[in-house]
Amino acid sequence: NAGVTQTPKFQVLKTGQSMTLQCAQDMNHNSMYWYRQDPGMGLRLIYYSASEGTTDKGEVPNGYNVSRLNKREFSLRLESAAPSQTSVYFCASSEDPGTTDTQYFGPGTRLTVL
């Protein structure tokens, strides 16, 4: 099993450009999540999908959109990138949205917005 995979690994954008970060998991998990990681602030939840066909906002959703394409894939879109969105983005998945379920993370996408 590859677990959780993310593409691309690195990306540089100019302010105002758009892009989509891709995430896929092969563990047949129902729930998927997008986080951003910033120094001193830990990981903050952007959006999550408790199950296929549903998405909900997390702590920092502004400037982002998501699509749960199918059970395996959950994408994050930046419509008009801003320097404040420079960060490392992690995708995660869990079997169910239970409060003790382990979230498994991908290796991250390092995004720089100039």
Partner 1 sequence: KDQVFQPSTVASSEGAVVEIFCNLSVSNAYNFFWYLYFPGCAPRLLVKGSKPSQQGRYNMTYERFSSSLLILQVREADAAVYYCAVCPPSAAGNKLTFGGGTRVLVKP
Q: Which is nearer to partner 1, 58 or 63 (by Cβ)?
A: 58
Closest by Cα among 9, 60, 4 to 36? 60
The least distance separating partner 1 from the CB of residue 57, rounded to whole angstroms, comes to 11
Positions in 57-76 near partner 1 (CB under 8 A): 58-59
The total number of residues shown for the chain amounts to: 114
Neighbours of 59 (CB within 10 A): 11
Q: Choose, by CB under 8 A, the member of 84, 98, 112, 114 that binds partner 1.
A: 98
* Helix, coil or strand: residue 60: coil
Distances (CA, A) of 29 to 10, 74, 102, 109: 25, 12, 11, 21
Which span (11-19, 69-77, 78-86, 92-100) binds partner 1, by CB under 8 A?
A: 92-100
* Token reading at 61: 């959703």
Nearer to partner 1, 54 or 80 (CB): 54
Binding segment for partner 1 (CB under 8 A), chosen from 16-24, 37-45, 64-72, 75-83, is: 37-45
**How far apart (Å, rounded) are the C-alpha atoms in residues 77 and 64?**
6
Nearer to partner 1, 108 or 111 (CB): 108
Binding site for partner 1 (CB under 8 A): 3-4, 31, 35, 40-45, 48, 50, 56, 58-59, 90, 94, 96-108
